[in-house]
Amino acid sequence: MMRIGCKVDARESCESTNDCAAELARNGAEEGAVVIARAQTRGRGTKGRVWHSPPGAGLYMSVILWPVRTDLSPLPIAAGLGVRDGIFEAAGLQVGLKWPNDLVWGGRKLGGILCEAGASGSGGRFAVVGIGLNLDQEEGDFPEDIRPTAVSLRMAGGWDGSVERLASAVCAGLDRRYADFRDGRTRELIESYRAASTFSEGTVLTLRRADGGVVRGRWAGFDERGGLVLDLPDGRAAFFSAEAVSVERSG
C-alpha cells in the first residue's frame, strides 16, 4: 500500500520544491515520494504569486502522486484536509480551510497548497502537491505587504520547533485523505471540507478568475467535484480551483 513519505529527498535549498518534485516525477519517481527544503529561492503560490520562503522559517515540501482517477478536481480538497489533520496532530491547532488553497488561523493565512499536474517521459500522468506552512516567524519577520494577513505556528502558540515531527504528521494526514480521494470517497471529503471552511452559508463572495473576470455571489457550498458553488443573479454556478485566483468576502 502506498505511503506518503516513503522516500524523502531533503535539500538545504531549492528554487521550488514543486519544480524539483515534478522533475523527479518526469524521471519516474515513486508515488508518495516527498521533496522537502529548508528554503526556497523561488517559492510560489497559485498563478505564479511569490511564496515567502526564508531559511528554517517554514515547512516547504512537495509530494509526488500518480493518481489513477482522471478527474483531479477534488485533489486540492483532499490535500487541504490532509494538511489540516497533520497540523492538528502535531500542533493541536484547529485551522480553517479557505477555498481554494489557503490554511487559515485567526483570520490570517498560515499556509497554502499548490496542486499541479504533469506527464512523465513514458506518458504517465502525475500530480504534485506542494505545501508551504509558516512556522517560526514573528509578525515583524514577514514582508510588510503580507504582515497584516500572515501568521505562523509560533504566533499561534502551536510551534515546538520540530520540522520533522510536523512533516511526518502532515504526510500521515495526506496519506489518509489521498486514500479517500483515490478510492472515490469524494462525498465524505466534501462534507469534511465544508465543515472546516472559513465561509458561512449565504456569505457574499467575490471570486477573481484567472481569465481576469470577476464573479460575485452568495456561497452555497461545494459541488460533488469540489467546486465552489455560488448563487448568482442569473442562477447557480460552480467554479474550480484551476480557474480561481482569489476568493474574498464582499462588503
Tens digit of pLDDT for each residue in 202-251?
999 999 998 899 999 999 999 999 999 999 999 999 999 888 888 999 86
On whether both 132 and 232 belong to a single domain, the answer is no
Provide DSSP, 217-232.
Answer: EEEEEE-TTSPEEEEE
CATH number for the domain that contains residue 139: 3.30.930.10
On whether both 192 and 238 belong to a single domain, the answer is no
Per residue in 31-42, pLDDT tens? 999 999 998 887
pLDDT of residue 83: 98
pLDDT of residue 56: 82
On whether both 93 and 50 belong to a single domain, the answer is yes
For residues 65-80, average pLDDT: 95
Positive or negative, the CA dihedral 162, 193, 176, 18 is negative
Taking a C-beta distance cutoff of 8 angstroms, is the pair 220, 236 a contact? yes
Is residue 225 in some structural domain?
yes
Is residue 2 in some structural domain?
no
Dihedral Cα 138, 139, 144, 148, nearest 10 deg: 150
On whether both 75 and 158 belong to a single domain, the answer is yes
Is residue 3 in some structural domain?
no
What's the distance, Cα to Cα, between the start and end of the chain in Å? 48
3-state secondary structure of 98: strand
Cell (9 digits) for 226: 469540489
Per residue in 133-173, pLDDT tens? 999 999 999 989 999 999 999 999 999 999 999 999 999 99
On whether both 234 and 185 belong to a single domain, the answer is no
On whether both 188 and 217 belong to a single domain, the answer is no
- Confidence band for 55, pLDDT divided at 50, 70 and 90: confident
Count of structural domains, the chain: 2
pLDDT of residue 239: 94
Is residue 237 in some structural domain?
yes
3-state secondary structure of 141: helix
Of 64, 66, 62, the closest CA to residue 124 belongs to 66
Is residue 131 in some structural domain?
yes
CATH number for the domain that contains residue 218: 2.30.30.100
On whether both 121 and 236 belong to a single domain, the answer is no
On whether both 153 and 79 belong to a single domain, the answer is yes
Is residue 65 in some structural domain?
yes
On whether both 64 and 178 belong to a single domain, the answer is yes
Instruction: Give the span between the Cα atoms of 217 and 92, in whole angstroms.
Output: 34
Instruction: Give the span between the Cα atoms of 158 and 152, in whole angstroms.
Output: 9
Is residue 130 in some structural domain?
yes
For residue 221, give its domain range: 204-249
pLDDT of residue 42: 75
On whether both 70 and 192 belong to a single domain, the answer is yes
On whether both 50 and 111 belong to a single domain, the answer is yes
For residues 66-71, average pLDDT: 93
**Pairing assessment for the beta strands 96-98 and 58-65 based on DSSP bridges:** unpaired
Chain centroid, CA 111 distance in Å? 7
Taking a C-beta distance cutoff of 8 angstroms, is the pair 194, 221 a contact? yes
Positive or negative, the CA dihedral 216, 220, 223, 227 is positive
Instruction: Give the span between the Cα atoms of 154 and 91, in whole angstroms.
Output: 10
On whether both 115 and 190 belong to a single domain, the answer is yes
